[in-house]
Amino acid sequence: VKLEKSQTVVAMAVSASDKLFLKANTLYQEKKYEEALAVYLEAIAQSDAQWGYYLNLGLTYKKLDRKDEAKAAFAKAAALNPDSYSANKEYGESLAKEQDFEAAKPYYQKAADLSPTDPDAFYNLGICVSKVDGHEAALAAYQKCIALKPDYAEAHYELGTIYIGQNKKAEAVASLEKFLSLAPEHEKAGLAKQLIEFLKK
């Protein structure tokens, strides 16, 4: 039995479009985004049913600050693979950045469902839910975020502001003080201090 070198075997097994995809990935990692973009597009021209091609294409457009093209690529990736955390997260983020929170919400929800141990997924969901259904509706998402990552500063801040709305002063103070202990230089630190002073009066 003749054993081929691993690189030779891999090269024989990988399709022409996959070779282009791998080449584009290397260019992306080298931060040669314009070059990577051209190769991703070439790979898609040869095989347009690969969701990963579109995801990485979207990430490249994102690096190049070409928002509309990035959103379209992420939408295609999510359509081709509805069970991809990354595709749902990126498409949801693209929609949210356009203030289309209603459209973004199901994608953020799907991302959280697909990655139930990722605190970022629940924080993003909380922000989106608060825009669509009101601040209090995001309570569970922020609580889940903190349960997964107790030192998630921004989630403590958001939770504190929800407790203020619910007139739960002790819980609000505790959350805001936790936020300040975790992120004393945060841009919202000054406001958090003012809120704590007001609540303690």
What digits encode the pLDDT tens for the residues 57-89?
999 999 999 999 999 999 999 999 999 999 999
Task: Say if residues 119 and 132 touch (Cβ distance below 8 Å).
Answer: no
Q: How high is the pLDDT of residue 141? A: 97
C-alpha pair distances (Å), 145 with each of 85, 149, 153, 182: 16, 6, 10, 15
Residue 65: left if φ>0, alpha if ψ -120 to 50, beta else—which one? left
Q: Cα–Cα distances in Å, from 172 out to 18, 77, 100, 168?
A: 52, 40, 29, 6
The residue type found at 25 is: N
Question: In the numeric block, which tokens belong to residue 62?
Answer: 């994102």
Residues 154-201 have pLDDT tens digits of 999 999 999 999 999 999 999 999 999 999 999 999 999 999 999 998
Average pLDDT over residues 83-108: 96
How far is 165 from 36, CA to CA, in rounded Å? 48
The answer to whether the predicted template modeling score (pTM) of the entire model surpasses 0.75 is yes
